[in-house]
Structure 1
Amino acid sequence: MIAVAFLYFLGLYVSKLHCTRVHCHCLQHKPTSIELNSAESPRPVEEKPKRRRLLSLDTFRGFSLTIMVFLNCGGGGYWFFEHAAWNGLTVADLVMPWFVFIIGTSVALAFHAMMKREVSRIQLLRKLTWRTVILLLMGLCFLNYGPRDGPLSWSWARIPGVLQRLGFTYFILALMETFFCLKDLGRYQFGNWWAPLRDIVLYWPEWVIMVILETLWLCLTFLLPVPGCPRGYLGPGGIGDDGKYPNCTGGAAGYIDKLVLGEDHIYRYPTCKELYKTTQPFDPEGILGTINSILMAFFGLQAGKIILMYRQQPLSILKRFLIWAVLLGIISAILTKCTQNEGFIPINKNLWSLSFVTTLSCFSFVLLGIMFYVIDVKNWWGGQPFIFPGMNSILIYVASSLLSTYFPFNWEMKFPNSHAEPLFQTLLGTSLWVLVAYLLYRKKFFLKI
């Protein structure tokens, strides 16, 4: 009933609005693909080009969000829609990294646009700080509250979380762009021997920062002494590794979280708990993994810079996306030795290991490249239905998370041992949220932080 009431009042509220102050100026006309050849025809000086949305990015975001809602609704009870117990990769492990990648691409496009409008750095800092604080508070207040000492007690509240990680990742990337984003890209595009690599060379300070951060992750992960555990331990603890290190879940990552945040404020039900009989809490959105989340977003930022640098040459964009995908795929193969558990650094979503980031970044370049070609270059597809939740991602994500246990998104199963009823419940819940996103789109209502 709570969920029904929420949807009812949301509908009433939206129906009274024709357009919000935020975002609706982009939708006064039907969204079209980005203008790839805008510089080829002369225009009067006084005419301002219309702002064009990158529909493939909205679609990619909505595609990821739809899968996330599907998973939050239960995933039909199938094992491959659950997170991997420790090393390895399932469908459920793909979604959040894609979101992080998309954040990076969005930051590149948004900050370039604001720089062209000559928005001051003070205004940019104010904007990015405000958005970060809102994301952190939304994560803490709405999605993380699970008290054990009473309805108003926070003594056992989890501090890390999905929105917290997204917020902090956004903050670091936006901070870099505030100081290193280039407004006039045209003057760098020709006449230099490094022109084919200008999307990298022109942003060398950001690359230096990322190398420093990744070096820090490697040093802490493999060199930090953890009491009772071998250096560089990446295992699940518990009965894993023949039970030699039962209290070493996550190695340095788990140790840092417990040291800084305390055991009472990190996730107490890690995915390895059931299979490996672990007794230690471990947070998949912990402190150390956030460094690699920033790296994942940085690869998305790189995708955005490629789009900006070569916006008049769609084939060049696609070639560079393919090159990045191949390079990252090769790095992943080397780090993992093409095995689940025997590599130098196995793919691990809980740890956000380096191989996890390179693998998912490879997938992201491929998916965004395909959608960019199909939607923005060839106009073969408008992105429906994924574009609808993609343009209201914060609202749909938070609302679907808050109401995931209420009817009509959830009910007591009559046939819990069959996949039929859980799958129907999951598909119904997911479809309802896509419908909500579509109705909001029709009313031109977009929640924007």
Structure 2
Amino acid sequence: MDEAKRMEEGLKLQLDHEDAKDELKEQETINIVDSNVDQHGTYTMAKPVDQQPELVKQKTKRVATLDAFRGLTIVIMILVDKAGGAYPRIDHAPWDGCTLADFVMPFFLFIVGVAIALALKRIHKIKYAVKKIILRTLKLLFWGILLQGGYSHALEDKLSYGVDMKFIRWCGILQRIALVYCIVALIETFTTKLRPTTLRPGRIAIFTAYKWQWFGGFLAFLIYMITTFTLYVPDWSFVDHTNGDEPKRYTVICGMRGHRGPACNAVGYVDRQVWGVNHFYIHPVWRHLKECTFSSPGEGPIREDAPSWCRAPFEPEGLLSSISAILSGTIGIHYGHVLIHFKGHWDRLKQWVSMGFVLLTIAIILHFTNAVPINKQLYSISYVCFTAGIAGIVFSALYILIDVWGIRTPFLFLEWIGMNSMLVFVMAAEGIFAGFINGWYYENPNNSLVHWIKKHVFVNVWHSERVGTLLYVIFAEITFWGVVAGVLHKLKIYWKL
């Protein structure tokens, strides 16, 4: 069987036994297995009931690149979350700019888009598809609020449980993924009868064939840009509950439009009006700026002469910035459409790589002309283009290595993590498993297995907090969960939302 034939079979997936029963009942099923972005990026369609009288278990094949890309994103997330304190250069950029950590969110949204295109390739019953989309969105919202709303957000370090509803954080990673997934998937679903089965000749045929998806992305772009540059931001105040013994109220002077700095941007203003400042993330990365701490670009105490906004909370996954994030999912779904309609490796790669470099060019021009700097906290348009361009190029590189050249062995641990990414996200990235282990200690919370391993097996051996932390993350976090995910894959155990 030649290479192209093998790849095409890799795009045809069969449902597992449980989904197939549901398929017989509904005559169609969407298989979007949630993990963090939690679609496995595969699709299948059931035959009508009268053509499928009995349930036949068929061999399942996957698109390996999708799982590997998703696994890579989870690995990067664990690395920057756990080692970012020791290596500030890989942690989130304090404001303008882009670091390794800043690729995590757009990579998630990109692969969500790719997977949606494959999962919703054909839809027989729109109502049933919408029901599945809404249900999955609600599940993502639930887990997002539970994990990042405050109830178990500090599990690993502080062993604290519970959340004051007055300060619960409504936004977060999974909440943003839920919003983008819901919007992009609903557009794909409601335009199912407007999509072509084959493309017309022409270089832009893939774009015109899915014009409604691009129209949705363009509408999100307009809403974001108009609001960002025209909305008047008045003075605002907040109460600092985290710095000092007694809460203290501060006032931030604004009274302007189109400001792109931390203090008076429209993104923060919209969130203050919608959610309320008490429901923001209380450790915004802008506190790493030189204006806020002498430890910049690392984390440190706030300077006494720091501006008042340095002590304010900020929501990096807020409403207006999430509207801009819809573009990341739109670009991802375009890559999925290319995967569906273009059968040859070279034809796919031409579309993907050229799109990636065009996006990178736009981002670089916008950033270095200071028209719209790359900024993750605001989810600026240049940030969307830059991260989506890098995502497209990385995705293309993995596709060449794994699916074209067949070099899968070095990337198997990424595939395993990608197949069970929701599990690894919750247990590793959110620190639930480490928090559970730390809950069993002797006399002092620092006398737990996790702390002992980190200190005695890594830090003390290398006589370096930084090197020991990095090695701990690589071996005790990433490698450990890669092995766990591999074992679960062999046992065919997956966490599906």
Aligned to 1:392: 420
Whether 1:64 and 2:87 are equivalent positions in the alignment is no
Aligned to 1:234: 260
Q: CA deviation at 1:138?
A: 0.4
Please tell me whether the aligned partners of residues 388 and 438 of structure 1 are also in contact (alpha carbons under 8 angstroms).
yes
Deviations 1:71-118 (A, max 9, x none): 233347112221111111111111121111000000000000x52xx3
Residue 325 to residue 410, structure 1, CA distance change in 2 (3 Å): farther
Please tell me whether the aligned partners of residues 73 and 430 of structure 1 are also in contact (alpha carbons under 8 angstroms).
no
Aligned to 2:113: 104
Aligned to 2:281: 267
195-204 vs 316-325, greater mean Cα deviation: 195-204
For 1:310-349, list aligned pairs within 5 A.
310=342, 312-337=343-368, 343-349=370-376
Aligned to 1:369: 396
Please tell me whether the aligned partners of residues 151 and 163 of structure 2 are also in contact (alpha carbons under 8 angstroms).
no
TM norm structure 2: 0.72
Please tell me whether the aligned partners of residues 20 and 444 of structure 1 are also in contact (alpha carbons under 8 angstroms).
no
Whether 1:307 and 2:334 are equivalent positions in the alignment is no
**Letter of the 2:414 counterpart:** F
Q: CA deviation at 1:268?
A: 1.6
Q: CA deviation at 1:20?
A: 8.2
Whether 1:289 and 2:321 are equivalent positions in the alignment is yes
Q: CA deviation at 1:226?
A: 0.5
Q: CA deviation at 1:56?
A: 0.5
Structure ranking higher on relative contact order (CA contacts 8 Å, 6+ apart): 1
**Letter of the 1:131 counterpart:** R
Please tell me whether the aligned partners of residues 158 and 267 of structure 1 are also in contact (alpha carbons under 8 angstroms).
yes
Residue 274 to residue 72, structure 1, CA distance change in 2 (3 Å): closer
TM norm structure 1: 0.80
**Letter of the 2:277 counterpart:** E
Q: CA deviation at 1:390?
A: 0.3
Please tell me whether the aligned partners of residues 96 and 374 of structure 2 are also in contact (alpha carbons under 8 angstroms).
yes
* Distance in 1 (alpha carbons) for counterparts of 2:494 and 2:332: 23
Q: CA deviation at 1:345?
A: 0.8
Q: CA deviation at 1:184?
A: 7.5
**Letter of the 1:350 counterpart:** Q
SS at match of 1:89: coil
Whether 1:437 and 2:460 are equivalent positions in the alignment is no
For 1:35-50, list aligned pairs within 5 A.
none
* Distance in 2 (alpha carbons) for counterparts of 1:134 and 1:75: 29
Aligned to 1:14: none
For 1:85-234, list aligned pairs within 5 A.
85-112=94-121, 114-115=122-123, 118=124, 120-146=125-151, 151=162, 153-181=164-192, 185-186=196-197, 188-189=198-199, 192=200, 194-227=201-234, 228-234=254-260
**Letter of the 1:232 counterpart:** G
**Letter of the 1:391 counterpart:** M
* Distance in 1 (alpha carbons) for counterparts of 2:207 and 2:271: 34
Aligned to 1:11: none
SS at match of 1:196: coil
Deviations 1:200-229 (A, max 9, x none): 111112222221210110000011010124
* Distance in 2 (alpha carbons) for counterparts of 1:164 and 1:259: 18
Deviations 1:117-151 (A, max 9, x none): x3x11110110000000000001123322599994
Please tell me whether the aligned partners of residues 58 and 390 of structure 1 are also in contact (alpha carbons under 8 angstroms).
yes
Residue 20 to residue 88, structure 1, CA distance change in 2 (3 Å): farther
Deviations 1:305-362 (A, max 9, x none): 001010x21110000111101211111122112xxxx611111111111111100111
Please tell me whether the aligned partners of residues 76 and 422 of structure 1 are also in contact (alpha carbons under 8 angstroms).
no
438-447 vs 99-108, greater mean Cα deviation: 438-447
Residue 177 to residue 87, structure 1, CA distance change in 2 (3 Å): same
Q: CA deviation at 1:387?
A: 0.3
Residue 209 to residue 51, structure 1, CA distance change in 2 (3 Å): same
Query: Unpaired segments of 5 or more residues in structure 1?
Result: 1-18, 27-32, 35-46, 238-247
* Distance in 2 (alpha carbons) for counterparts of 1:262 and 1:183: 41
Count of residues paired in the alignment: 389
175-184 vs 273-282, greater mean Cα deviation: 175-184
Please tell me whether the aligned partners of residues 150 and 163 of structure 2 are also in contact (alpha carbons under 8 angstroms).
no
**Letter of the 1:403 counterpart:** F
Aligned to 2:304: none
Q: CA deviation at 1:195?
A: 3.7
Query: Unpaired segments of 5 or more residues in structure 2?
Result: 1-15, 24-30, 32-40, 43-55, 155-159, 235-253, 293-309, 439-448
CA RMSD of aligned residues (A): 3.0
